[in-house]
Amino acid sequence: MLILGGTAEARALAQVLVERGYDVVSSLAGRVERPRLPVGEVHIGGFGGVDGLASWLREHEIAAMVDATHPFAARMTASAAEAGARTGVPSLVLRRPGWREEPGDSWQRVPSLEAAAGALAAPMRIFLTTGRRSLPVFTPVPGVWFLARSVDPPSAPVPDNVRVVLGRGPYTIEGERALLREHRLDTLVTKDSGGRLTMAKLAAARELGVHVIMVDRPPLPPGLRLADTVAEAAAWVPG
C-alpha cells in the first residue's frame, strides 16, 4: 500500500492498515521540518513527477494507492491520478469534508490566494493562516498588517508589516479568541482545509465578529474515487 500523506487522516489510515497486517509506505512531501511521522515505512520527498511516480509504483509492486494529501496539494493529486491510470494501480482520494458556514459567520469565498489578496484593503489587520509559502502573495498589499501563522518559519526577510507566530494544531477556541483580541485582528484569511484540528479559529472569528476570507479548494481531476473518512478509505483497500 502507498499512502500519499502529510495529513492527520493519512496517519490514521496508516495506523489502521498496519494493524491489519498491510505493508504500508507513507510518502511525505518533506516541506515541514519536523513532520509527524506515521507508523510503517516512510518515503520523504517527491517521486520526480508523473513518470517517476509511475516507475516507483511498478518497481515497488504497489497493490493500491490512497492520496490523502492536503486538499490544496493539487499538483500531487493530479500526478497521482495520472500515474495510477497509467499503471493500473487502484487509487482512491481521501479528503476530509470542507468547512461550512454557520449562523453568525461572515464569510467571503474566493477561488484563489490571489483573489484573497485582492479582497484586502487598508487599514485591515489580518490573521493569515494560508501557509508560509503564501506570504509573497499578500505582503505587497499596502497599509495592511498581518499576523501570519505557520508550522515552520517563512524564508527571510519578513516584511515589516508581518509578525510571524509559529504553531501546529490542534488549537482551542480560547487560544484563538485570545490571539484575535491581543492583536486586534479584524479579518481572517484561510484555506478551506476542513477538519477539526484548525477549525477553532472559525468559531473564535464567529464569536468576535471577525470577517473570514475563505479560499476554496482546487477542483479534483475528473473520474477519481473519493472517500470522506478514514473508515471509508480503509474499507475500500483491497483485501
Residue range 30-46, pLDDT digits in tens? 666 677 889 999 999 88
What's the CATH number for 2-97+219-236?
A: 3.40.50.720
- pLDDT for position 32: 64
- pLDDT for position 115: 98
Which helix (H) or strand (E) covers residue 212, if one does?
strand 211-215
Asked if CATH classification 3.40.50.720 holds for the domain at 107-215, the reply, yes or no, is: yes
Three-class secondary structure of residue 122 per DSSP: coil
pLDDT in tens, 198-236: 999 999 999 999 999 999 999 998 889 999 999 999 999
Q: Which amino acid is at 215?
A: V
Total number of residues shown for the chain: 239
pLDDT in tens, 51-93: 999 999 999 999 999 999 999 999 999 999 999 999 999 999 9
Portions of the chain given CATH number 3.40.50.720 = 2-97+219-236, 107-215
Tell me which residue has cell 500515474: 83
